[in-house]
Amino acid sequence: MNLVEQEHDAKKDHINEIVLSEDVQRAIEQVLQSSDPLDQPDFNPTDYINQLFPNEQSLSNIDEVIAKMECDISLIDDNIRSVVRGQVNTGENGRVALKEAQQSLTQLFSLITDIKSRAEKTEDAVKEITRDIKQLDSAKNNLTYAITTLNHLHMLVGGVENLKRLSERRQYGEVLNPLQAIIEVNQHFQQYSEIAQIQTLSAQVQQIQSELATQITDDFKNFFSPTSHSNANRMTLTQLKDACQVASVLDKPVKKNILKWFINLQLQEYVQLFHENQDIAWLDKIDKRYAWVKRHLLDFEEKYGTVFPADWEVSERITVQFCTITREELAKIVARRRTEIDVKLLLFAIQKTANFEQLLDKRFNGTTLVEATSEEVRPERGSFSSLIGSCFKPYLDIYTDSIDRELTALIEQFAQANQQMVVPKEINPGILPNCADLFVFYKKCMVQCMQLSNEKPMYDLVLLFKKYLREYAAKVLEARIPKPQPPNTTTSSISSSMSLLTKDFQNLSTAAGQVIHNFLKEGETPRFSSEDMRKICYILATAEYCLETVQQLEDKLKEKIDKQYVAKVDLSDEKDVYHRIISNCIQLLVHDLDAACEQSLLLMTKIAWHSISNVGDQSGFVNQIITNLKQTVPVIRDNLANSRKYYTQFCHKFVNSFIPKYINTLYRLRPTSSGSSSASGTAALVASASSSSLSEGGANSGAASGGNILGCEQLLLDTHSLKTVLMDLPSIGSQVQRKPPASYTKVVVKGMAKAEMIIKVVMQPVHPASLYIEQYLKLMPESSVVEFHKILEMKNVRKIEQQQLVEAYKRACPQLQQQPPASSATAGSQAVGAESGNSMQQSNEPPTSGGNSTQSQQIAAAAAAISGAGSSIMALGDSLMDKGRIKKIENLIKNRLPN
């Protein structure tokens, strides 16, 4: 019953709970401002009680608090009752207020209706009052229009007679204003052209205009005619000025005809003086043409500058006509005497013409250029640019041919001077000086061609730039890259190398690389001197500068050339050439350092690892490799100080080449000396290999003697020393130690870790077989049958035992059953080719061909099934190897680590 009551009380509390929104709560707080905690929206009874009674001693005044609460409750009850009583009459009051509002609306509607009717009556009264006013206003407008028309008619009738009289007297100053007025009035009467009198007057006006046009034209010809100087009726300059004003008022053809005749008259002397048959008309005297027009314009403006109105732009029109005639005459002369033009003469004529056109752009505003010619010869309207110079554009191939010859001579000069190339003595020599000279010449040609044309000649120049960028790369840079002398090869080495190719058709590319590698290894491998290495770095830095500058050149050409040729400007092939030079230089440096280390790796194979009696300091071949690295790498680093990214590439390529060779060399070693296996051990091996599951007893029964593994321990020490040196390779021999890039560190760690795992696997005893395969799969999860064969060869395992171990290995990795069988020799040649080509090849093979991504998962699963749950690599090593010797190796490695 108590539970039911509690649930009822809880539901009751939940129902009575009132949740108000934030907006409502803020409104309540604004109306009822209170600081009492009981009035707060987030009131918490527990916190409030804890505030009233913070400790046990405060409970002594609980009666006072309860009494105060009861008093507050009674006050609230009284307030609620008063509010409830006040709301009793609220509904009645609302109905009364609504009724009053309805009555007010009815009264308002009646008032509005009354106002509307009064407004309509008022409007009718106003219309009645203003009816007569509108009639009077219309009569006034008609009368005004009639008076104006009569005045215009009077002006037209009187003006026609006056114009006839003034025109006969050639009083053009007095003709101007009446003529303007009569022309405007005549335009006004065109709407009354059906009236006979108006037609007659309009015909008289047209006749007066025609007579004035003929008369003014004759007066101009009489005034400027060479034979009219003795004529007594010759006009004065003032009359001529007034006549120009009258011609401006007349029809446009009048002004146009006068200007055409006058401009031809002004240039008549020029046409005769610079006729194409005259010696002065040839390009070598082109500046005399421009000097003539300058003098003529000065003389014209001094004599007649005040005669012609400013808006006629007579000086500009003369200049434009001069440019048109000059362009046409020069085009005919150049076409006829093309064989006599050389680039010097062409550039002289173009430069003088461009300077003259720039002067005209500054002197005139170009408003008359649109009327000058119907042929589009300017790049943009309003500019004198190319108005004359366009006649030279068809012959700019003379200029590009000259640039071709100059660049040919320049490259030959660079190539000859480059035969005695000496690298500066400073640590960072910079770039070849002639490289900067080439691009300075390119810039000069580009600026010069922009002044001539940015269309086809500019594109022809781009093609020349492309050609000689390749020429410079081939004749100057690639030709001076030092090359080591090829070693002597014997017939036997060639035949053995060819047999290597025929044995491995599945990986022909890597086998071919191995053949080349074998050729290079015959005899003493040639090395670059320190000067040669500095020269290679010198050429690499120059190629890098060319690469960056070619990109800037391409961007600038695209910016300057005409839009129709922008898409054709592409220097990507030339950039690829310089990329190839850089890559070749890096590869030569890598090959040189590889050659230095090959002798050390060869020395490594000469050591009798199986007979080492104690593990000491790092081997001599390691010291030799470190010495070679310290002699070579600092020289390359110092000379590529401004090409850090390519120095990093060099380090990457070297470790990618050296580590697979080092692993390859490891496979050729025999670092252990195994004891002879007993008959019982062989039987145990066979039983172990054929069983589907392995027990501890089986493992123990298959044990055999481990033999001498001190050679493996020494190799492990040497491998760790090499790993430490390779990690520090980018900063080797430098006072400033920099952290190598993460990608470089990853390659070194992964490659050298594989070498260490190979040595650790070799250190393990092959008996029992199940335990050996289990550890092999854990140490080398991405291995293959080929590598398994090679490691068994390193351990000097007998052939029959190898076959049995391989069968057990294949059963542990079922996916290997689908691979074709391979002999140890063939498998070894495949591994050599694969690892010399790319140390990372196995991790990139696709899963469909037995790729190692799927293979590693299956091997891991098989290893987990064999080993049980969760045994670690170090735990297996500790259980199978001598802990004292492992501890000794660790101490030796720690002693070799840098402080």
Query: Does residue 719 sit in the same domain as residue 605?
Result: yes
> What distances in angstroms separate CA 703 from CA 689, 699, 810, 874, 881, one per listed residue?
13, 7, 21, 20, 13
Please give the Cα distance from 385 to 388 (Å, whole number).
8
Angle between helices 883-896 and 873-880 (to 10 degrees): 120
In contact, 685 and 801? CB cutoff 8 Å: yes
Mean pLDDT of the chain: 74
pLDDT in tens, 6-33: 555 554 444 456 677 777 777 777 777 7
Please give the Cα distance from 428 to 77 (Å, whole number).
98
Query: Does residue 667 sit in the same domain as residue 544?
Result: no
pLDDT in tens, 294-305: 888 888 888 887
pLDDT in tens, 224-237: 776 555 455 566 77
Please give the Cα distance from 119 to 633 (Å, whole number).
109
Q: Is 826 a member of any domain? A: no
Please check the confidence at residue 602 and state whether its pLDDT lies above 80: yes
Question: pLDDT at position 239, please?
Answer: 74
Cβ-proximal residues to 11 (8 Å cutoff; 6+ apart), any chain? none
Q: Is 520 a member of any domain? A: no
Please give the Cα distance from 434 to 411 (Å, whole number).
9
* 673: β partners: 708
Query: Does residue 735 sit in the same domain as residue 747?
Result: yes
Q: Is 724 exposed, middle or buried (0-12, 13-18, 19+ CB in 10 A)?
A: middle
Greater pLDDT, 401 or 882: 401
Domain boundary among 760, 791, 812: 812
Query: Does residue 640 sit in the same domain as residue 575?
Result: no
Q: What is the mean pLDDT of residues 775-791?
A: 85
Query: Does residue 307 sit in the same domain as residue 339?
Result: yes
- CATH number for 779: 1.10.357
Both tokens of 27, joined, read 């409104």
List own/partner pairs for 797-806 with CB under 8 A and 24 or more apart. Answer: 797/674, 797/766, 798/677, 801/677, 801/682, 801/685, 801/766, 804/685, 804/686, 804/689, 804/769, 805/685, 805/689, 805/766, 805/769, 805/772, 805/773
Highest mean pLDDT among 10-14, 498-502, 579-583: 579-583
Which pLDDT band, with edges at 50, 70 and 90, does 208 fall under? Answer: confident
Question: pLDDT at position 466, please?
Answer: 92
Which pLDDT band, with edges at 50, 70 and 90, does 507 fall under? Answer: very low
Q: Is 643 exposed, middle or buried (0-12, 13-18, 19+ CB in 10 A)?
A: buried
Question: pLDDT at position 613, please?
Answer: 79
Cβ-proximal residues to 694 (8 Å cutoff; 6+ apart), any chain? 688, 768, 770, 771, 866
Query: Does residue 446 sit in the same domain as residue 305?
Result: no
Q: Is 748 a member of any domain? A: yes
Query: Does residue 404 sit in the same domain as residue 474?
Result: yes
Query: Does residue 572 sit in the same domain as residue 631?
Result: no
Q: Is 408 a member of any domain? A: yes
Q: What is the mean pLDDT of residues 359-388?
A: 67
Q: What is the mean pLDDT of residues 410-432?
A: 76
Q: Is 465 a member of any domain? A: yes
In contact, 483 and 423? CB cutoff 8 Å: no
Q: Is 502 a member of any domain? A: no
Greater pLDDT, 256 or 752: 752
Please check the confidence at residue 505 and state whether its pLDDT lies above 50: no
Query: Does residue 281 sit in the same domain as residue 204?
Result: yes
Which pLDDT band, with edges at 50, 70 and 90, does 451 fall under? Answer: confident
Query: Does residue 571 sit in the same domain as residue 612?
Result: no
Please check the confidence at residue 314 and state whether its pLDDT lies above 70: yes
Question: pLDDT at position 390, please?
Answer: 82
Give residue 368's Cα distance to chain centre: 45
pTM over 0.85: no
Greater pLDDT, 589 or 827: 589
pLDDT in tens, 102-151: 999 999 999 999 999 999 989 888 888 887 788 787 888 778 777 766 66
Greater pLDDT, 465 or 266: 465
In contact, 320 and 368? CB cutoff 8 Å: yes
Please give the Cα distance from 407 to 190 (Å, whole number).
74
In terms of phi and psi (left: phi > 0; alpha: psi -120 to 50; beta: otherwise), the region of 796 is left
Report the amino acid identity of residue 207.
Q
Query: Does residue 261 sit in the same domain as residue 295?
Result: yes
Question: pLDDT at position 894, please?
Answer: 53
Which pLDDT band, with edges at 50, 70 and 90, does 191 fall under? Answer: low
Which pLDDT band, with edges at 50, 70 and 90, does 468 fall under? Answer: very high
Please give the Cα distance from 562 to 565 (Å, whole number).
6
Which pLDDT band, with edges at 50, 70 and 90, does 317 fall under? Answer: confident
> What distances in angstroms separate CA 152 from CA 79, 148, 174, 186, 198, one per listed residue?
97, 6, 19, 9, 11
Q: What is the mean pLDDT of residues 316-337?
A: 88
Q: What is the mean pLDDT of residues 485-489?
A: 48
Q: What is the mean pLDDT of residues 565-594?
A: 92
Question: pLDDT at position 704, please?
Answer: 34
Please name which of 263, 277, 269 lies closest in space to residue 316, comparing C-alpha atoms.
Answer: 263
Q: What is the mean pLDDT of residues 566-570?
A: 91
Judged by DSSP in three states, 170 sits in: coil
Q: Is 150 a member of any domain? A: no
Question: pLDDT at position 672, please?
Answer: 78
What's the domain range around 283? Answer: 191-226+234-394
Handedness of CA 763, 768, 769, 775 (dihedral sign): negative
Q: Is 328 a member of any domain? A: yes
Torsion angle, alpha carbons of 29, 30, 31, 35, to 10: 50
Q: What is the mean pLDDT of residues 790-815?
A: 83
Q: What is the mean pLDDT of residues 421-437?
A: 76
pLDDT in tens, 713-734: 888 998 999 999 999 888 887 7
Total domains in the fold of the chain:
3
Query: Does residue 385 sit in the same domain as residue 418?
Result: no
What is the percentage of the chain residues whose pLDDT exceeds 70? Answer: 69
Domain boundary among 547, 565, 581: 581
Which pLDDT band, with edges at 50, 70 and 90, does 572 fall under? Answer: very high
Greater pLDDT, 603 or 685: 603
Both tokens of 427, joined, read 């640590």
